[in-house]
Chains A and B, each alone.
Chain A
Amino acid sequence: MAEGISDLTGSTFDETIGAASEPVLVDFWAEWCGPCKMIAPILEEIAAEQPGIRIAKVNVDEHSDIARRFEVMSIPTLILFKDGEPAKRLVGAKPKGALLEEIGEFL
């Protein structure tokens, strides 16, 4: 299902974010986080429906260094990177409509 959503690691993060010509929305998540599970299917839908944006995810359990680097203190946190730089940060699970509205200017 999630072929459109790539898993980022410490070694692929900078390259993926830096090389992307389109904005990249990164989902910081973990297996034990209920609200993260709730938004996962929404992100899959957005990945399939919105060609103008890339979606990737970071498992904070496995890659806590990336989470620390971007001062993630609560999950789910979504950070939208534009031209390699964080441009927007969303903390907490949200319904699809609200999420699309928040990132609308980047689509």
Chain B
Amino acid sequence: MSSTREVIIIGSGPAGLTAAIYTARANLEPLVIEGEPSSTSDQPGGQLMLTTDVENFPGFPDGVMGPELMSNFRAQAARFGAEFITAKVTRVDFSARPFGIWVGDDEYRADSVIVSTGAQSLMLGLQDEERLVGHGVSTCATCDGFFFRDQEIMVVGGGDSALEEATFLTRFASKVTIVHRRDELRASKIMQDRAVANPKIEFAWNSQVVALHGEQRLEAVTLEDTTTGQQHRVDVSGLFIAIGHRPNTDLFVGQLDLKDNGYLITDPDSSRTTVDGVFACGDVQDDVYRQAITAAGSGCMAALDAERWLEAQSH
């Protein structure tokens, strides 16, 4: 067991790394347990590691690549002395102070904790889905789009990330069909306009994917009309899933209070959770905005809240 830290940060997307920059500059010598490599969006660097051009992060008039932006965040935190462990937290104990955090058998103790574990992509939950991931089924258009040159593919979802993926995939695919279970999109106006104007993009409205077909690789899907229940089979070699996210809060069940939808509860206008000394920032506690810039902003809030809280404890 190592000595007690002033602050440990769990997670390393825009929220966690901004909290690391601020707490490091406040001489709190933060330890960031950044997660472990994975091809889902639950990984070091967070969801931006699976994107290409980020066009809405202020300060980059020509856009910036998601992985590059996150590697800059990390370098900036490291420059001020933040320490990193590339591993995934397996257990926490917030019932007594100093708080306990475990990576397997390794135990860490901290006076305060900043939770920034983010959210990860939802899957469809279909039989054969897991087997076909990497063989035509994908949750990462930027990783896999390249391999679908001149092919007809599908994107499932109706939000910004679905439309962004579909637009990106038209660089490679000959046709991209967006499958959406309703007849209108949730996505922002600018993304909708861009998708509708793209001659390679088509829409399958009121439709959902109910089955996947293919032995070695995806060959076809069954679509069901959500209004009539009618089903038909469509040949397709690639299926990209962008139906939303769920917060990474499994670790905190029974320790911190969660909303009904699984997101962490924080006080209004604050990063305080229901445990004194534990703060939360970024997508793990944000079911409304979910942007890189709001995550970064809330990471700054958590760092300042933790700093002031630690100061108050020592008086």
Contacts and interface: CB of A to CB of B under 8 A. Distances in A.
Interface of A: 30, 32-39, 42, 60-61, 67, 71-77, 91-95
A35 B143 contact: yes
11 contacts: A35-B43, A36-B143, A38-B44, A73-B135, A74-B134, A74-B138, A74-B140, A91-B133, A92-B38, A92-B39, A95-B37
A60 B39 contact: no
Given A71-B217, A75-B144, A94 B138 contact: no
Q: Binding site of A, secondary structure by majority: helix, strand, loop or mixed?
A: loop
A38 B49 contact: yes
Contacts of A30: 146
Given A34-B67, A93-B37, A73 B50 contact: no
A71 B217 CA distance: 10
B143 A75 contact: yes
Given A32-B52, A74-B134, A38 B37 contact: yes
Contacts of A93: 37-39, 43
Contact of A94 (B37, B136, B142, B144): B37
Contacts, number: 82
Contacts of A33: 142-143
A32 B65 contact: yes
Contacts of B65: 32
A74 B37 contact: no
Of residues A33, A34, A72, which shows the largest number of chain B Cβ atoms within 10 Å of its Cβ?
A: A34
B57 interface: no
B136 A73 contact: yes
Of residues B134, B140, B148, which shows the largest number of chain A Cβ atoms within 10 Å of its Cβ?
A: B134
Contacts of B140: 35, 74
Contact of A34 (B49, B147, B216, B217): B49
Contacts of B87: 95
A41 B38 CA distance: 14
Nearest to A98: B36
A33 B39 CA distance: 10
Given A35-B43, A38-B43, A95 B146 contact: no
Contacts of B216: 71
Nearest to B87: A95
B275 to A, nearest CB: 28
Contacts of A73: 134-136, 144, 147-148, 217
Interface in B87-107: 87-88
A35 to B, nearest CB: 5
A39 B134 CA distance: 17
A34 B41 CA distance: 10
Contacts of B67: 34, 37
